[in-house]
Structure 1
Amino acid sequence: MASVTFNQEPVTLLGEEISVGDKAPDFTVLSNDLQEVSLSDYKGKVKLIAAVPSVDTGVCSDETKRFNEEADKLDNVQVLTISMDLPFAQTRWCAANGVKNLDTLSDHRDADFGEKYGALIKELRLLARSVFVVDSNDTVTYVEYVSEVTDHPDYERVLHHIKHNM
């Protein structure tokens, strides 16, 4: 399992760690209008899935804004940012920050995504910062579990992967 810390303290990730080559597990989360959304709703598209602890924190906010900017430049790629934030908070945050090119989704109800992608922090019931790229056939082609949750993911590496391997 990925070794992850939060503020330099080790945390326990629940669920199965995802690896390149795995079939992406389907999951159910909530959209900002409280509708159930699953991976299968994005069938036929490349998915960049960014899991973050909360869009209301600095690094998560910056990451979501960065992927929002990049989403506009990526053909046939759907960017999803998933957190434990309530859908109402995600809606407010998106409106305040002009985020319109990606879907913010909430895993707060069942932690279904967090458990299926090995990203649920047991001690905090937050998602560990992680990035997954899933191709149009729902095969995982890129995985990054950020070793320190308060650090940024490797933006250049994930974007290079999408632009040169999809």
Structure 2
Amino acid sequence: MAQTKLGEAVVNTTGNLPAVGSAAPDFSLAGIDLKEHSLKEYEGKNIVLNIFPSIDTGVCATSVRTFNKRAAEKSDTVILCISKDLPFAFKRFCAAEGIDQVVSLSDFRNKGFSKNYGVEMTDGGLAGLHARCVVVIDKQGKVKYTEVVPTIGQEPNYDAALNAIG
């Protein structure tokens, strides 16, 4: 299992992120349209998974804004912002913020994403939500880069994630 911190407390996750070089596990997540969306929909593109606890927290919202701005730099890349927030919260946030370059997906139906990617926190005040993580998947569906952000209140390393694409 991976670890991160919530404040000074160590928090464990259900597992580890997929190994670099491995095939990225497929998933089924709900879009803001409430339809199921899978990794297979994005085949042939570079994919950045921006995984976080909740869009209604400052750092999570900042990560979505930052990846939205940076997404325009990579025409062959899609950025998927993933949490357990309801699709309605994503839709409200994106409309209010003018977010239109990323795809918001919800794991609220819990069909295996948390388990397959090892990102669900098992203890601490946010137990049951996702840890802040980034996974980069290349056009062939292989994991190129992973990051479990050391502290929930810290932003991910945007440059390292986007540079992993090449």
**Are the equivalent residues in 2 in contact too, given 1:111–1:120 (CA < 8 A)?**
no
1:138 aligned to 2:141?
yes
Q: Which moved more, 1:16-25 or 1:125-134?
A: 16-25
State the partner residue of 1:5: 5
State the partner residue of 1:155: 158
Normalised by the length of structure 2, the TM-score is 0.93
**Are the equivalent residues in 1 in contact too, given 2:47–2:138 (CA < 8 A)?**
yes
Structure 2 Cα separation of the partners of residues 127 and 89 of structure 1: 16
State the partner residue of 1:20: 20
State the partner residue of 1:42: 42
**Are the equivalent residues in 1 in contact too, given 2:17–2:146 (CA < 8 A)?**
no
- Change in Cα spacing, 1:17 to 1:73, as seen in structure 2 (3 Å) is closer
> Paired residues, what number?
163
Deviation of the 1:155 alpha carbon:
1.4
Query: Which amino acid is 2:153 matched to?
Result: T
Partner SS for 1:85: coil
Query: Which amino acid is 2:46 matched to?
Result: V
Deviation of the 1:16 alpha carbon:
4.2
Unaligned regions of 5+ residues in structure 2, if any? none
Deviations 1:102-137 (A, max 9, x none): 100000111622211111112311110000110111
Partner SS for 2:147: strand
1:67 aligned to 2:70?
no
Deviation of the 1:97 alpha carbon:
0.6
Q: Which moved more, 1:4-13 or 1:123-132?
A: 4-13
Unaligned regions of 5+ residues in structure 1, if any? none
Structure 2 Cα separation of the partners of residues 63 and 137 of structure 1: 25
Structure 2 Cα separation of the partners of residues 10 and 40 of structure 1: 34
Structure 2 Cα separation of the partners of residues 160 and 135 of structure 1: 12
Query: Which amino acid is 2:101 matched to?
Result: N
Partner SS for 1:153: coil
**Are the equivalent residues in 1 in contact too, given 2:2–2:14 (CA < 8 A)?**
no
Structure 2 Cα separation of the partners of residues 111 and 61 of structure 1: 24
Describe how 1:62-101 pairs up with structure 2 within 5 A: 62-101=62-101
Query: Which amino acid is 2:149 matched to?
Result: V
